[in-house]
Amino acid sequence: MKILLTGAAGFIGFHLSQVLLAQGFKVVGLDNMNDYYDVQLKEDRLAILEDLAGFSFYREDLKNYQALTEIFAKEQIDIVINLAAQAGVRYSITNPFAYVDSNLVGFVNILELCRNFEIKHLLFASSSSVYGGNKKTPFSTDHGVDHPVSLYAATKKSNELMAHTYSHLYGIPVTGLRFFTVYGPWGRPDMAYFSFTKDILEGKVIKVFNHGKLQRDFTYIDDITEGIARLVNHIPKANNHWDERTDGVSTSFAPYKIYNIGNNQPVELMHFIKTLEDIIGLEAKKEFCEMQAGDVLITYADVQDLQEDIGFRPDTPLDEGLEKFVDWYRAYYS
């Protein structure tokens, strides 16, 4: 089986590629290597992947439909895992067109190619941000997600709608993955755990938004990749008798399914910072700030259907995951 994995040089894509290769899949990686964050970090991830048997790579952009078509035709892809996207909630407020190009135009290109080349299964990254202003927790895939609070979240919700439409019209089996605050070695520098670690070690002030009154469902990278890898061959089936009055909205009359992948254990921001301080061995200099535009108070994943369908639920303790990240950070930047 050959998998096209977009965003292969990204944080999740890098780790997932290694897992899939170890399981015997051939992985065709694709990434545009943009400069949203440190390109050298992406290049270093890619260098590791290119040394692994079964991995090939294309430096290409999802917006380039002709180039993607040629890749699909040449590589005879069986499964697509679309992780490529313009990430970042706050960046979407000041750079909206980057999200339209990558998350909307790019995703339509992927859907069209999955249709034209009769892909067996499409898995794609959504986000916990789709829950937006929801108050009821834990966030369930059977909850409505019609009140996003950032353009990034809106594009991810749009991906879910577009994918469902293609699944219905063309019978493409589709699995959407709502990730919850992923962290770990080789992570993204724009994420709080990464920038906090950098600033604490350098003696700089960290900004604590909403005066620390935030909660996040931190999910370790190995739990994310384990969940995705188990879902690759768990292909959704259409429910011909689906009825919104009695059936969950994460399933459908199309071969379509949405899952949360989260730790199911939200952590208060101040506890998170204290854990990081203890691991690093330094106290952070803190500046307490107001809530940021586009941010939410809590993320909290209900993963019952993930456990029922593939017998898995994320469970890496925060202190264990953060210690592995800090160890990597110190080694990488030494």
Distance CA 275, CA 265 (A): 15
- Pairing mode, strands 267-268 and 215-216: antiparallel
Strand partners, 46: none
Calpha distance 280→198 (Å, rounded): 10
> Do residues 315 and 219 touch, judged by C-beta distance below 8 A?
no
In angstroms, the first-to-last Cα distance of the chain is 39
Query: Per this entry, what is the length of the chain?
Result: 334
Residues annotated catalytic, as ranges: 152
DSSP notation for 257-297: EEEEES-S--EEHHHHHHHHHHHHTSPPEEEE-PPPTT--S
Phi, psi of 131 (to 5 degrees): -70, -15
Q: Which residues contact 243 (CB under 8 A, 6 or more apart)?
A: none
